[in-house]
Every structure is written in C-alpha cells, then in structure tokens.
Amino acid sequence: MRVIIAASEGDDPKWANHLGVPKQLAPLHGAPLLAHTIDQAVSMCDDVHVTLPDDPRYDVLSGLPGITRHVRAGDYPSEYASTRDLWSTDDRTVLLLGDVYFTPEAISTIAGTPDRGIRIFGREGASRHTGSDWGAVFATSFWPEHHAELDRYLTDVHYEHAVGHCLRPPGWMLLCAVQGTPWEVHTVQAPWFVEIDDLTDSIDRAVDYARHPVFDFRRRGAVVTPSFTAPRGS
C-alpha cells in the first residue's frame, strides 16, 4: 500500500489565515493537524508521501521520519492532479486529504477495506458529531488497473470546473463519475462510497476548528499557535 497525503493547496480564503497558520497546520494537542495525519499514515504502511506547498511554514514538518515530502508549486485543479505522478503502479494507493482530522476508527476503515475497486470515503451529509452542516469527502482508494479510468473521469471533472459548469468539490464530482450519476445530484451509492460518520471531518473554516471537540481551541478569544517541534529523523 502507498499512502499519499494531499496538502499542497496552500492558503484557503475560507480559512483566512486563522491563527496565523494554514489550516493543515492548525494545532491539535500541541502539534500540527498534518503531523497527526502523517503519524496515522505511517502506522498504515511504510510507503508514505506528502505533497506540500512551497511555503516555509511547512518546514516544521521537515524532520518527521518515515515520509517522502514533495513540494508542489503552482495551482492544480484537484488533489488528484497534484498527486498523479505519485500513484502506485504496483499496489493500492490511498489518498488522504491533508485538511481532515481522521479518527483512529476512520483510518482503520480506510486501511482495512478489502475491496479491489475505486472507493471514496466520506460522510454523506451533516454531522451530529462535529456540527458540520454538509457532507465531505475524506479519502480515496484505488489500484493500478484503475489509473486510466480515473484519468478519464478526472479529465471531465477538471473540464467541468474550468468552464464553470459544475463547481462542486472534485471528490464529489469524481464519485458522480464513478457511480454514473449527474454532477449536480448529491447521491452516494455503495460499493463506491464508504460512509465514515464519526469525529472525522474537514477543517475548512475557523468555525469548523472552533466547534470540533478534539481541538484545543475552545476558549473565547484565545490565541493558539503551534508549539510543535518536529523530531529529527531520517
């Protein structure tokens, strides 16, 4: 298995540089969120890659062992495009989004899914656990024989985005393509969609961070900055 964490999108206007850091570096128990996800990925396999923007703030992760870092400059139409050259040619690829908090149970579900098919992991709708009002895609899994199929689907997804026909998040649009359902219709179908409905969630905005039970930032007006120092390692 190869695990890729896609975290190269850079600053998100919805996050608005909250706490003075990118959302992927939002503090979680004194360490960046992305460091937490990296630790989980390393527990899944010994072939872990992380895409990062050309931003010195991400240097805090430079000493983490067990990963290969890839700096991506410029804009990409999706997390799939920014990681395309890293997809495994001889094993399963698991693509995790770098702005997502994953529970241990979610990681277990993703790692342990036995199906040899394209699988998109997420939550269909609003969350009773985190207060989020909408669904989210958290991860995607596929095998080498799916690369050409995914390339075809993603060509359409990126085109629809580029011309403004459909501006839904690429993960949802890819699910539509895999399922054969219309772009604008929000529907999920097994086996392609695997539901994860717990504290796993995307952290896109300051309000997402503030209301999520696992994050330290729960105090009115508090200023929280990362105190994490990456361990030195190979």
Can you tell me the distance from the alpha carbon of 135 to that of 123, in angstroms, rounded to the nearest whole number?
5
β-pair type (119-123, 48-53):
unpaired
Can you tell me the distance from the alpha carbon of 184 to that of 165, in angstroms, rounded to the nearest whole number?
10
Residue 23: the pLDDT is: 94
Can you tell me the distance from the alpha carbon of 96 to that of 137, in angstroms, rounded to the nearest whole number?
10
Residue 93: the pLDDT is: 98
Residue 139: the pLDDT is: 99
For the chain of 234 residues, list the mean pLDDT of each consecutive stretch of 10: 92 86 92 96 97 94 92 92 98 98 98 95 97 96 98 98 94 98 96 98 94 69 42 40
Can you tell me the distance from the alpha carbon of 144 to that of 139, in angstroms, rounded to the nearest whole number?
17
Residue 71: the pLDDT is: 95
Residue 227: the pLDDT is: 42
Q: Tell me which DSSP letter residue 231 carries.
A: P
CATH of domain 2-143+191-211: 3.90.550.10
Residue appearing with tokens 């997390």:
79
